[in-house]
């Protein structure tokens, strides 16, 4: 597993200030985000956990997964969560020709918009990799580029469930955007961590909002 940063440094946020990393610290509000779904085995479970706490979240969906699991995708929308674009094929910008990358985003947007009941255009680059030139094009198309403040690392099968939970608890603050994955690979860690996060921060008086 390649090294990664659990807490996004202030310098990175400053250097890439046209991307959204977190929100105001004045309110006890957290922004849970889920990448790579919808996935039958875990997305519906995630929705059920969120519903228990009346928590809203943002799901960055892979277009081909939306096509495969459209009923689950519609359930995300009906439950009042926000939807973001995560490309159609989960492409890596650093390994994809520029036009093909933009075309893949547009393909995903067509799929996402079949029944999307929101005017939002949110985009999160897979792997967090996005060339500056591509970010300019994407923002010109009206997208907000949403990154994250806290990486749970639920995708990392080499760490314990307890470590995954610690990643979130130790680094989350008012306004944090927290990255989880509703994917099979992350499911074991997510199923341990998410209920505890929802309970812990609810008891501390936080609310969970979707990104708008």
φ, ψ dihedrals at 22, nearest 5°: -165, 180
Which of 35, 93, 154, 182 does the annotation list as catalytic? 35
Residue by residue, DSSP assigns the chain as -----SB--HHHHHHTTTSB-B--SSS-EEEEEEES---TTTHHHHHHHHHHTT--EEEEE-HHHHHHTHHHHHHHHHTT-EEEE--SS---GGGS-HHHHHHHHHHHHHHHTTT------EE--GGG---HHHHHHHHHTT-EEB--SEE--TT-TTS-HHHHHHHHHHH--TTBEEEEE-STTTHHHHHHHHHHHHHHHHHTT-EE----
Is 190 within 8 Å of 98 (Cβ atoms)? no
Give catalytic status of residue 149 as yes or no: no
CA dist 208 and 193 (Å) reads: 15
Which of 69, 81, 181, 182 does the annotation list as catalytic? 181
Give catalytic status of residue 181 as yes or no: yes
Q: Could you list the active site residues? A: 35, 181
């Amino acid at each position: 597993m390649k090294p990664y940063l659990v807490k996004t440094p202030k310098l990175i946020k400053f250097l890439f200030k046209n991307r959204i990393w977190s929100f105001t610290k004045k309110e006890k509000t957290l922004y849970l985000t889920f990448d790579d779904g919808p996935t039958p085995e875990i997305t519906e479970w995630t929705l059920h956990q969120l519903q228990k706490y009346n928590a809203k979240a943002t799901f960055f969906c892979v277009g081909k997964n939306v096509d495969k699991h459209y009923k689950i995708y519609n359930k995300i929308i009906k439950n009042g969560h926000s939807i973001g674009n995560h490309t159609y094929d989960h492409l890596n910008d650093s390994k994809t020709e520029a036009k093909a990358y933009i075309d893949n985003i547009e393909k995903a947007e067509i799929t996402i918009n079949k029944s999307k009941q929101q005017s939002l255009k949110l985009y999160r680059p897979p792997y967090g990799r996005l060339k500056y030139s591509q970010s300019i094009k994407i923002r010109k198309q009206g997208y907000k580029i949403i990154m994250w403040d806290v990486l749970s690392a639920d995708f990392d099968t080499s760490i314990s469930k307890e470590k995954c939970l610690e990643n979130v608890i130790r680094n989350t603050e008012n306004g944090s955007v927290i990255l989880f994955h509703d994917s099979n690979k992350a499911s074991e860690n997510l199923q341990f961590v998410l209920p505890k996060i929802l309970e812990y921060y609810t008891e501390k008086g936080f609310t969970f909002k979707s990104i708008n």
